[in-house]
A = this chain, B = another copy of it.
């Protein structure tokens, strides 16, 4: 062990090695560009930014009203803010917590046509200084701050900046009690530890009227997550840098130092190859040109019948907008399906009430940002060879722009399944065998929020179906324990999880991903219909059957009618229909939400984290469209009290019939860890579908062609020998 360093030395080391466990906007080009320089060779088309990277962004102009803010636009906004009277003196410039496109009014976007001049480009800036949160819509061309709303000591703060986290972590690490606690555990405070700041949640007095971070530490290693310094929690006031409390309840708990946690290939490749992992790589290949087209501006994608605008977003990670389908009938008209779809919030409560764990009830989008934690995708591995990539331009805390390359990928997918098929029994007199391979378009973003990696896919099918999929991988958040075998544990329930390795408990937790789905089925005025299935008894003598399942359509009049808790034995389909757009048969044009396997929160409704995340109380909600209601946990989610979220908005019980409505769906996962989740978790996923229902006259892919050998690429190096 090295000698004890000076506090100043310690601070410096901590500064450079700090674990910013919880996502931060990366501020510096060099760090990012060096990551990017590891890029594998590009194949399969340009990235939508022509691969020119940084330079490209400095000069590129927006093309579509929903294109994200460009490098130059962010620079302009910074300069507008800097010259604003309220921030003009050098020390009053606030820290920028969020700076993103303020979308034009929906009607303006719907009215815009390619070639039209763009509607005014605007940004919504959320800034913070001296206990005041500033919400600032800014108009770029007129260089005006349109409004300046100031909230003093609000219930809820903007997401943390890297500066916040660095300062708080430094303050924590410099505290003598922390240094002693680390030394007590035999670790070197200067070189052997990684500390990181964690969102505190909101539980009352300690988090009241001040911004608070909790700091915890790990023994340093490439997979430091598996070596927690258990029981040591430092509570820091982010605004004053004051340590509020140092809690150490883990003196009897060893720091796990398992040696097989390094999952990196450079380490694993030294292990003998086993049959289980010796699989020859595969690739999706396409003879001829990709079927995808990327429009001017690099964000509008056309594929099969679809057109959809895709953009990275600092908070949501990725936003898909203006999803429209060109109906093969009716003169090829473009028909609206979804105006906007995105991850609105992500709630991750851990299930240990103890001092070092109770507060771990994260809201990853609002506290950290799914986009600010979306790092460059790993080509060929995160996305297939044929993927194209989109870069993101985000604003740092000082308001300057930076480029995050390869944050979104888009690719055509063939997975060996069929879009439709039928074989006729040959004895019927027809020789019919028809099958059509299924090909889809996938837009993907991965957010690495600390230990967890969330892959969000939007998949568009040729039959008009949209599938959203969230995949989870990364590292467990684990707890150190003195136990090495379950038989030593007095009460297994008191582990609050599963023993996944020596002295390591994978703590039970949930993930709830709440999607914002602004459906515009054939236009904005839609209704939500529960197509309810219920048992109907037959009348005596009516039928040899005693019962059948009857379908009853129930149109939701107000928000209350549309709050849904899914029940297997009380099922419904969930349709968003346009009541004014009837098919020739009289069926309203619609899309239905088809939930996948899911999970619901079991927390008490009056438990503080559940109140903050009350948007998880129902799996489905429907609200009238309201520009200010996009983030299910509220605009200011950090330390929010639960008084500005979807559940609260929806208490107004507004009218939603034949209105512009927004559908909210929450996908859930219960995670009881197991040994296989150690030291890195195999991907698990869940999905939901948005599926056309009486939207098309007939199956829209009936005309698709089957494959023949001549259609497929000729590849060398292929040895089909079994």
Contact = CB atoms under 8 A, between A and B. Distances in A.
Interface in A296-341: 303-305, 325-328, 332
A455 to B, nearest CB: 7
Given A275-B304, A604-B535, A416 B384 contact: yes
Contacts of A461: 682
A696 interface: yes
A514 to B, nearest CB: 16
Interface in A546-601: 546-553, 565-569, 571, 573, 582-587, 594-600
Contact of A376 (B304, B433, B438, B713): B433
A40 interface: yes
A353 B543 contact: yes
A107 interface: no
Interface string A23-35: 1101000011011
A283 B546 contact: no
Contacts of A599: 568, 571
Contacts of A269: 703, 705
A434 B568 contact: no
B603 A549 contact: yes
Contacts of A292: 722
Given A328-B277, A429-B16, A693-B676, A358 B713 contact: no
A1 B34 CA distance: 79
B265 A585 contact: no
Given A415-B415, A429-B194, A286 B276 contact: no
Interface in A324-368: 325-328, 332, 349, 351-355, 358-359
Contact of A279 (B412, B418, B422): B412
A70 to B, nearest CB: 21
A interface, over-half SS: loop
Contact of A566 (B387, B431, B568): B568
A355 B462 CA distance: 38
Contacts of A706: 265, 378, 380-381
Contact of A544 (B203, B279, B435, B595): B203
B602 A569 contact: yes
Given A281-B286, A602-B569, A375 B426 contact: yes
B351 A550 contact: yes
A612 to B, nearest CB: 12
Contact of A435 (B273, B304, B381, B619): B381
Identical chains in the assembly: 2
Contacts of A435: 378, 381-382
A475 B18 CA distance: 60
A695 to B, nearest CB: 7
A708 interface: yes
Contacts of A358: 543-545
A282 B286 contact: yes
Nearest to A509: B549
Contacts of A700: 276-277, 676
Interface string A681-709: 11101000000111111111111111111
A446 B423 contact: yes
Contact of A485 (B294, B380, B566, B586): B586
A537 B351 CA distance: 11
Contacts of A378: 421, 423, 433-435, 706
A676 B705 contact: no
A482 B378 CA distance: 58
A419 interface: yes
A595 B704 CA distance: 33
A473 B702 CA distance: 12
Given A288-B280, A437-B281, A271 B703 contact: yes
Contact of A38 (B353, B382, B433): B433
A493 interface: yes
Contact of A535 (B260, B471, B552, B602): B602
B326 A538 contact: no
12 contacts: A276-B462, A279-B704, A283-B414, A287-B717, A351-B548, A378-B434, A418-B473, A424-B448, A485-B585, A510-B549, A547-B607, A674-B692
Q: When A and B form their complex, which 4 residue pairs have the shortest distance between CB atoms, in order from nearest?
A: A486-B586, A276-B305, A353-B543, A415-B415
